[in-house]
């Protein structure tokens, strides 16, 4: 189904592709291809399907030149290059797609924290993160370009993504703290989750 949708640019399959991507990323860590036995075969199948899902989402959404592709051998690692796309989808009007994309970004962080943090450390990704976190920034974007507004289901996932990336790459907050720290503080205030506050407390301290 995904191969057909990918070849024919069938946009209604965007949501199931996003959900499939998140689901496969959730399982791929337990089934790494080892080149032998049943686990190796299952691992290769997971990587193949993950490649199809990732290519499909990228194909119908943004030009491929937008993406950085890490040099690692696994398809899950190559999918890290689609993080800017996942952030854009997380800020989209379709709530189901937005949440699935946010889950996909979080699962990529769990699988490949260093590569994920490296991509999230770009100025482009920092700018994409701000309206996903800050309700005021989302409202301003909604007024200026007709954005969907702040998504209370996406924001906690983005806090987890950014926290993990900042822990893996401390330079991220040093490089982009001027825009990310206020957005994180506003998001924590809006959500009011004690666990997220504790997670972020050491990260928000002046370095």
Per-residue pLDDT tens digits for 50-82: 555 555 555 444 444 444 444 445 556 667 777
User: Distance between CA 163 and CA 204 in Å, rounded?
Assistant: 10
Q: What is the pLDDT of residues 101-140, one digit of tens each?
A: 888 888 888 888 998 999 999 999 999 999 999 999 999 9
Count helices and strands in the chain by DSSP H and E runs: 12, 0
User: Distance between CA 107 and CA 186 in Å, rounded?
Assistant: 24
The whole-number pLDDT of residue 54 equals 54
The owner of tokens 């993504």 is 161
Q: Which residue has the higher pLDDT, 95 or 172?
A: 172
pLDDT at 15 over 80: no
86 contact partners, CB below 8 Å, separation of at least 6: 101, 102, 104, 105, 108
Maximum Cα interatomic distance, the chain, rounded to a whole number of Å:
56
28 contact partners, CB below 8 Å, separation of at least 6: 43, 46, 47, 50, 74, 76, 111
For residue 70, give the 3-state DSSP assignment.
coil
What secondary structure letter does DSSP report for 104? H
Q: What is the pLDDT of residues 128-183, one digit of tens each?
A: 999 999 999 999 988 887 777 899 999 999 999 999 999 999 999 999 999 999 99
pTM here is: 0.69
């Amino acid at each position: 189904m995904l191969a057909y949708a990918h070849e024919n640019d069938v946009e209604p399959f965007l949501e199931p592709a996003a959900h499939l991507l998140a689901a496969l990323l959730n399982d791929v860590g337990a089934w790494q291809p080892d080149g032998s036995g049943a686990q190796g075969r299952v691992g290769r199948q997971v990587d193949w399907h993950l490649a199809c899902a990732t290519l499909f989402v990228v194909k119908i959404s943004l030009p491929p030149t937008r993406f950085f592709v890490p040099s690692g051998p696994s398809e899950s690692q190559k999918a890290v290059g689609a993080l800017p796309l996942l952030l854009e989808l997380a800020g989209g009007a379709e709530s189901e797609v937005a949440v699935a994309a946010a889950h996909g970004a979080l699962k990529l962080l769990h699988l490949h924290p260093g590569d994920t943090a490296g991509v999230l450390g770009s100025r482009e990704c920092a700018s994409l993160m701000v309206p996903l976190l800050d309700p005021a920034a989302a409202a301003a974007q909604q007024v200026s370009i007709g954005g969907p507004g702040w998504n209370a289901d996406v924001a906690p996932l983005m806090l987890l993504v950014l926290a993990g990336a900042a822990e893996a790459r401390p330079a991220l907050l040093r490089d982009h703290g001027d825009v990310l720290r206020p957005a994180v503080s506003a998001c924590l205030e809006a959500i009011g989750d004690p666990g997220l506050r504790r997670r972020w407390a050491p990260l928000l301290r002046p370095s």
